[in-house]
Amino acid sequence: MWESLKEFASWFFVTGDPLIYGAMVSIALTMVAIVFVLTKYKKWGWLWREWLTTVDHKRIGIMYLIASLLMLFRGGVDALLMRVQLAFPNLEFLHSDHYNAIFTTHGTIMILFMAMPMMFGLFNMVVPLQLGARDVAYPFLNAVSFWLFMFGAMLFNLSFVIGGSPDAGWLSYPPLSQNDFSPGPGQNFWIWGIQISGIGSLATGINFIVTILKMRAPGMKLMKMPMFSWSVFSSCVMIILAFPILTVTIALLYLDRFAGAHFFTMDGGGNPMMYLNLIWMWGHPEVYIVVVPAFGIFSEVVATFAKKKLFGYTSMVAAVMGIAILSFFTWAHHFFTMGTSANVIAFFAITTMLIAIPTGVKIFNWLFTMYRGKISFKQPMMWTIAFIPCFVVGGATGVMLSVAPADYQYHNSYFLIAHFHQVLIGGVVFGYLAGIYYWWPKLFGFKLDEKLGAWGFWLWNIGFYVCFMPQYALGFMGMTRRYYTYGWDLGWEPLNLVSTVGAFLMGAGFVFQVWQITYSIKHGERDTTGDPWNGRTLEWSIPSPAPFYNFAVVPQVKELDDFWRVKEEKANGTYKEEPVHLEPIHMPKNSGLPFIMSVCWFIAGFGFVWEWTWMAVIGMVGVALVMWARSFQYDTDYYVPVDEVRRTEASLGRVY
């Protein structure tokens, strides 16, 4: 009995590596500490009522943000481990298996469990406020989305200590990701972690499209909608078109692994190239899904901190929607080297280059928003200004990569690695950080400390160039991605060492940002006006932090940048005060079902990962039961009485 238990444990848990034992101990200690604190301060009820069951888009946004910062930490640690291993030739810090697992989880986490939730966090924190809405279109579904993401991410991260991490690359190309070459549960963790959170992403896409189309304040025509909301719309259109492809593709991959199907196998009639095509039909739009909202953020930030209207609003809208369409016609540029006919390659090279046009236009529009403005260098603006040169260079190397015959020399080399990190860090990370600094006061009621933020900013920026510029050069030296080691004879060592130093500078930047947040909770400048940056859009017209119903009175919109118009009219005395009368506010009720349903998904996912059918069945039955229970729930909403609204507003310093 004891022996078979021991045998099970050594197969079930990841064993044999001191790094992982350390991680296990720290995970266990953290869990014990959390349980202890919650019990000691009697916070279990609070946790359940205020957070686990919430359908408030702002709280869901905050939870997304916290989760994504934790994932940024883990993905970042993965990156640093890789950079240590590559700092010198023939280093034996990590061996091949471990290194392969780390670059796989780094990529998967950074895109799917860091960028996506950080983006969804910003959608949730901002879009309803910007539209003058009281919540998203489907608040219950919004909570389902969040918890599916959360449990998907937890399932994926579990592979670190149980069963073993996936190690076939962040897109798990078959045949390498098939049973023949990657036996064991690692790849299944990859499939089911993404599958479960992917359902949530798709639902979020639907939710925000409907929110944007149906929930705008009266008078806000589509062409009077703030640019960030437009970018969210573009991103969500791509989500609902792209994510079903991902779901189907990795479901088929799972059938190959679990049921012995032959969709993508090397033998038995399977076609691995089909997988490459399908995964990039999702994967290429995916990078635009995450970068387009960053463009929206830059647009808001630039207009606010240059104190000037966004230049070329109409062509900006055309550009983000154009990108949404073009993004579906470029996928094959991820494998120009597949040896297909020149016609196919030429087609995808040209479509890829075309994307540079709307992207370039946006850069000029931001520049000319600043032109003849009055630029103040607050943190959101610093990140935006830093973004422009970084993204211009990253975009240009992207154009270089689209030159197909030249791509045969760049493909899978560090030139490619440097390029996509430059657009993803320079575009997505800088953008989301700008957004977080910008909207932080609206969510939490205080600003983040400027001085610590400046440390973070400069360390990130200098670190970025020190880390990734040498990687372009390493690409020209023929260094291939996913090498866990290299020899002395290739001349790669000096630049690799420099790159590692840069990575640690960025890591130090992150530490400063965490310090900045914890410091500012106590000492940050409080925002009592609700409009700390002299903003232009509706979210700045309400108090900070926003009350749970957002708007006591739904605003009437006349112009783009409507709040700016109101402020101007008030300043020059032309503002006509309309008589306001408060009405009871219709709000959704909290529900524990999204959480419970996602727990069931987690159980099912765990069963699928280990191919324990009984467990998967139990989980799926649970999911079905929750859906069934929900369909009989009629008591899902309520009205906030006028008195309570008046009292809440008064406590926030607004009298009605």
Partner 1 sequence: MSGGKWPRRLQLAVLAALASIMLAGCGSDYVVLNPKGPVAQTQYDLIMISIILCSIIIIPVIALTAFIVYRYRDTPNNKATYKPNWAHSTKLEVIWWSIPIVIIAILGYFTVRDTYALKENPNKEVQPMVIQVTSLDWKWLFTYPEQNIATVNYLQIPAGVPVQFQISAEAPMNSFWVPELGGQIYAMAGMTTELYLQADHPGEFQGRGANFTGEGFAHMQFNVKATSQDEFDQWVKEVKGTTPAMSKEDYEQLRKPGLSEVLTYSSFPEGLFEEIVSKYSHGHPMETGGSMHDSMHMDGDKKESAPGSEAGEKKDESAHSTHHMPNTAMTPVMSH
Restricted to residues 95-154, the positions that interact with partner 1 (CB under 8 A) are 95-97, 100
Interface with partner 1 by CB under 8 A: which range of 49-57, 250-258, 330-338, 580-588?
330-338
Cα–Cα distance for residue pair 209/136, rounded to 1 Å:
10
Length of the chain: 656
584 interacts with partner 1 by CB under 8 A: no
Which candidate, 333, 454, 355, 356, places its Cα nearest to that of 402? Answer: 333
Strand runs (DSSP E) across 489-584, as ranges?
none
| Two structure tokens written together for 571 | 């300043």
- Which stretch in 28-36, 174-182, 247-255, 526-534 sits in contact with partner 1 by CB under 8 A? 174-182
354 binds partner 1 (CB under 8 A): yes
Does the protein bind partner 1 through residue 373 (CB under 8 A)?
yes
**Which residues from 461-500 bind partner 1, rule CB under 8 A?**
461, 465, 469, 472-473, 475-478, 480-486, 490-492
Check binding of 388 to partner 1 (CB under 8 A). yes
**Contact (Cβ atoms closer than 8 angstroms) between residue 277 and residue 246:** no
- What residues are paired with 526 via a beta bridge? 446
Q: Binding segment for partner 1 among 150-158, 176-184, 202-210, 518-526 (CB under 8 A)?
A: 176-184
Residue 371 engages partner 1 in binding (rule: CB under 8 A): yes
- Contact indicator for 477, 492 with CB cutoff of 8 Å: yes
What's the burial of 651, exposed, middle or buried (CB within 10 Å: 0-12/13-18/19+)? Answer: exposed
Stretch that binds partner 1, among 41-49, 331-339, 430-438, 584-592 (CB under 8 A): 331-339
Tell me the per-residue interface mask from 228 to 267 with partner 1, x by CB under 8 A, - otherwise: --------------------------------------xx
Residue type, 399: V
Identity of the residue, 406 or 618, whose beta carbon is nearer to partner 1 in the bound complex: 406
Query: Pick from 313, 288, 303, 310: which is nearest to 234 by CA?
Result: 288
**Cis ω for the linkage preceding 389 (within 30 of 0):** no
Of residues 402-461, which lie at the interface with partner 1 (CB under 8 A)? 402-413, 454, 461
Residue 567, interface with partner 1 (CB under 8 A)? no
Q: 474 by DSSP, 3-state: which?
A: helix
Which DSSP letter does residue 448 get? P
270-309 binders of partner 1 (CB under 8 A): 271-273, 306-309
- Interaction between residue 534 and partner 1 (CB under 8 A): no
Q: Which of 8, 36, 46, 377 binds partner 1 (CB under 8 A)?
A: 377
* Shortest distance, position 569 Cβ to partner 1, whole Å: 14
Using CB under 8 A, count the residues that bind partner 1: 108
First to last CA, the chain: 72
Smallest gap from residue 547 Cβ to partner 1 (A):
30
Lookup: tokens for 559 = 């112009």
Cβ proximity to partner 1: between 61 and 535 the closer is 535
Q: Crossing angle for the helix pair 139-158 and 57-86, nearest 10 degrees? A: 20
Which one of 63, 122, 310, 546 is in contact with partner 1 (CB under 8 A)? 310
Q: Is the Cβ of residue 83 or residue 134 nearer to partner 1 in the bound state?
A: 83
| 324 DSSP assignment | H
Q: Please tell me whether residue 372 binds partner 1 under the rule CB under 8 A.
A: yes
What's CA 634's distance to the chain center, in Å? 33
For the segment 588-617, give every residue that binds partner 1 (CB under 8 A). none
* Binding range to partner 1, per CB under 8 A, among 116-124, 235-243, 391-399, 423-431: 391-399
**Is the alpha carbon torsion for 546, 548, 551, 552 positive or negative?**
negative
Q: Answer for the pair 188, 167: CB distance below 8 angstroms, yes or no.
A: no
Residue 211 vs 397, nearer CB to partner 1: 397
